[in-house]
Structure 1
Amino acid sequence: MPSRLKIASWNINSVRARVPIVERFLKEESPDILCLQETKVRDSDFPTGIFRQLGFNHQIFCGQMMHHGVAILSRIPIHEDERFDWQANGEARHVGVRLECGIRLENVYVPAGGDIPDRTQNPKFGQKLDFIERMTRWSETCGAPTIMVGDFNIAPLECDVWSHKQLLTVVSHTPIEVEALTRLRESNDWIDLGRHFHPPPKRLHTWWSYRSPDWTKNDRGRRLDHMWATPDVAALAVDHHVHEPCRNWTRPSDHVPLVTEFVI
C-alpha cells in the first residue's frame, strides 16, 4: 500500500469507445485506482489488456452488454468483491472492494431517472428515488472506513448547476432528489470531498450535455459525479480535483474524472 493513495472516478460512457482517452488520462494523472461507471460492456468483453499494460493488474467488473456497468481497476491489491442490487432489478450499478489497509471502496452508478420528475408519470424517476433509499438503508449499517465514488446523477447544491432557478424542475436537481441525497449523506456523516476542498459557491461541474454545440462557451454544467468518505477516511484526504480538460479530448465522455489523493 503506498503512503499516498490516489483514486480516480469517471463515468466513461462506454469504455471500449474511450480507450484512447482513458489511456491518456492514466498516463497523465497516474492514479493508483480507477473506478469507472457506465462501462457498457459485458465482463467477458472488457478491454483488460490495455489496463494491464499500464500496471492495473487488479480488475473487478460488474457489467452488462450496452447498458450500465461499473468497474474497479487497481495497481494495488483489492479484495472482497461485493455487488449490491440497489436498483432491485439486476442492473449492474455497484461494485465494492476492500483495500489492504482496511478501507472499503464502493463504486456506484445511480440511475438517471428519466425526464419527468414524477414517479407516477415516470416510473424511472421512482426507481431512482428508491435506489437512493436502498443506499441510505445500507449506509446506516456501514461501519467500516469507506470511500464511496461514482455518478450519483444528482447535483445537490445551488452552485452545483449552471442555473439553479432554471433547473429546479429538471431531473438531477429537483428538491425531492436533493432531499433524498441529503438523507443519504447524513445517514453516515459522509463528507462530500468535492465541496470539502472546493467550498460553495465555487463552480465545480463534472458533466456537460452532448447537445451543447460548444460546452466551453455555454458552460451549462452540473456536478453529477461525487466522491464521499466517512469522516475517518476524509481526514486522510489531502487533495481533490476535477480533470476538466478531458471533456475537450477526442471522442470524450460527457462526464470528466474526479481525483482524490489520500495519505494512508
Structure 2
Amino acid sequence: MLRIATWNINSVRLRIDQVARFVSESGTDVLCLQEIKCLEDQFPRGAFEEMGLPYLKIGGQKGWHGVAIASRKPITEAPRLDVCREGHARCVGVVVDGVEVQNFYIPAGGDTPDRALNPKFDHKMDFYERLTAKMSGRDRQRPLVLAGDFNIAPGENDVWNHRYMSKIVSHTPLEVETLRRLQAAGGFCDVIRDQIPEPTKLASWWSYRAADFRKSNRGLRLDHLWTSPGLTPAVKPGSARIHDTVREWTQPSDHAPVTMDLEV
C-alpha cells in the first residue's frame, strides 16, 4: 500500500514539527508539499530523514512558492512539466513504486477574474492551458497522480456559498470549466469527491481571517488528488480523507492535508 498526501504547508521550516506530527499520525508514505517558501539548500532534510521520508525531490524558490515531494520509498525521475511561464517553482515530479506523482502549486490568480485586466489571473489560466495540453497526449493507462493546491474549488459543495463564490476567484465559471477541461484531457478521477460524493460539503482551506474557522465555516476545497484511468482501480475504497483537525493545531497552515491510499 502507498499512502499519498498533499498539503500546502505555507512555510515548511516554520511548520516542520507539524509535518513530523502529521506524518507520524497519518502513516503517510509520499508527502507532496506546496508553498515550502525556501530554497533547496534551506530545506530541512534532516527532519525528513528522522520522520522516515528520506527520499526528496525539491523545487525551491526564495520567499515564495516552492514545492517538494518526500517519500518513504526510493524515487526516480519523472518527466518535467514546465508549464509555468513565469519560471516559478510550482511543479515537481517523481516516480515511486511505479507510480508517477506530479505535485503542483497552481497560481491563485489574484482578485479580479478577468484575463485582460489581471495578469495574475491570465497566468493562472495559461498554466492550466499548458498543463491540459501536456495531459492530452499522454497514455491514460500509465499510473499517474496529479496532486497539490490547484486553487480551484470545482463543485457547488466544494465552497461554502456557491452563489456568492461564483463571482470570486477560485470558483468562477471560467475557472471551473478550465479545471474540468484538464480533468477530461486525462480522464482523471477526482478521488476525494469520487469517494465522498455530493451533496456532502467538503473543504481543505479556511482563511486565517476567521478567529474560529469551524464557526465561520467558510471553507473551499482547493487541494486535490487525481488519478489516471490506469491507476484509479488501485485506489483503496474509503481511503480518501481531508484531515481537517490539523487546521485546529497551533499556528497551522490555512490548508489541511488530504490523503488517499493506493494498493500497488
Q: How do 1:122-161 and structure 2 match up within 5 A?
A: 122-143=118-139, 144-161=142-159
Aligned residues with identical type, % of pairs: 47
- The answer on 1:219 being equivalent to 2:217 is yes
Tell whether the 8 Å contact from 2:78 to 2:100 is kept in structure 1 after alignment: no
Q: Distance in 2 between matches of 1:184 and 1:193?
A: 15
TM-superposed CA distance for 1:229, in Å, is 0.2
Unpaired runs of 5+ residues, structure 2, are none
Tell whether the 8 Å contact from 1:21 to 1:250 is kept in structure 2 after alignment: no
Give the AA of the match of 1:249: W
* Partner SS for 2:53: coil
Alignment correspondent of 1:68: 65
Alignment correspondent of 1:256: 256
How many corresponding residue pairs? 260
- The answer on 1:57 being equivalent to 2:54 is yes
Unpaired runs of 5+ residues, structure 1, are none
Moved more, 13-22 or 77-86: 77-86
TM-superposed CA distance for 1:19, in Å, is 0.9
Q: Distance in 2 between matches of 1:97 and 1:25?
A: 21
Tell whether the 8 Å contact from 1:82 to 1:95 is kept in structure 2 after alignment: no
Alignment correspondent of 2:246: 246
Q: Distance in 2 between matches of 1:114 and 1:23?
A: 32
Q: Deviations over 1:79-129 (max 9, x none)?
A: 0154423121210000111123x2211101100000011111111001000
Q: Distance in 2 between matches of 1:83 and 1:249?
A: 35
Alignment correspondent of 1:114: 110
Q: How do 1:64-213 and structure 2 match up within 5 A?
A: 64-100=61-97, 102-143=98-139, 144-213=142-211
RMSD, aligned α-carbons:
0.9
For normalisation by structure 2, the TM-score amounts to: 0.96
After superposition, the Cα gap between the structure-2 partners of 1:230 and 1:81, relative to the gap in structure 1 and judged at 3 Å, is: closer
Moved more, 251-260 or 210-219: 210-219
Give the AA of the match of 1:175: P
Q: Deviations over 1:157-176 (max 9, x none)?
A: 00100000111110000000
